[in-house]
Amino acid sequence: MYLKTLYIQGFKSFAQKTKIEFNNKITGIVGPNGSGKSNISDAIMWVLGETSVKSLRGSKMEDVIFSGTDSKRPLGFAEVSIVFDNTDRTLPLEYNEISVTRRMYRSLESEFLINNVKCRLKDIKELFMDTGIGKDGYSLIGQGKIESILSNRPEQRRAVFEEAAGISKYKMRKLETENKLKRTEDNIVRLNDIISEIK
């Protein structure tokens, strides 16, 4: 699997729809200071579900929407789509190409889509879990990330290895099941209370 194409529109400095094509080797992005290089990696993190404004180098989520320049009006929404080549079926979907889209309006109303079908943020997280891709995945190494991994507490550092070993998905499912069991146990206790009151 590899990152094939990125479409950015209305996101940060990218007012017009911009298509960036990658190949399965190495792509370098060069440009003068402030020309928008980091905005490209911000766009990748955002479309993969980043919800921390700080990680996106803003002060509020609305800051990701193009805010206008002397010659261009601000825009009302931001949209980013990322397309992966999935011919090797790394992602568990029967498609050779998988696209993920995130769209957000100034009202902060937002939408996520997988292959143009609306979905939840949770679906995107689950799709990429254990692949190293995703806002917390080790394939996105931002400035200061290595330092933070090295200075993390041991259990936080272990999470990086768990993602690489492919067990985070099962840990998440275990937690969900434990929560469900807990809710069921609580319901049984309440039911028993009601039954004993009726008796």
13 binds ligand ATP (CB under 6 A): yes
DSSP state string for 21-57 = E--SS-------TTSSHHHHHHHHHHHTT---TTTTT
Q: How far is the CB of 57 from ligand ATP (least distance, A)?
A: 7
Q: Is 18 in the site for ligand ATP (CB under 6 A)?
A: no
Q: Which of 119, 123, 121, 133 is nearest to 166 (CA)?
A: 133
The residue from 9, 39, 101, 168 that contacts ligand ATP (CB under 6 A) is 39
Is 99 annotated to bind ligand? no
Whole-Å CA distances, 102 to 45, 96, 119:
11, 20, 10
Pair 20, 116: CB distance under 8 Å: no
Binding site annotation covers 10? no
Q: Can residue 34 be called a binding residue for ligand ATP (CB under 6 A)? A: yes
For ligand ATP, the closer CB: 35 or 51: 35
- Give residues in contact with ligand ATP (CB under 6 A): 12-13, 31, 33-39, 63, 65-67
Annotated binding site for ATP: 32-39
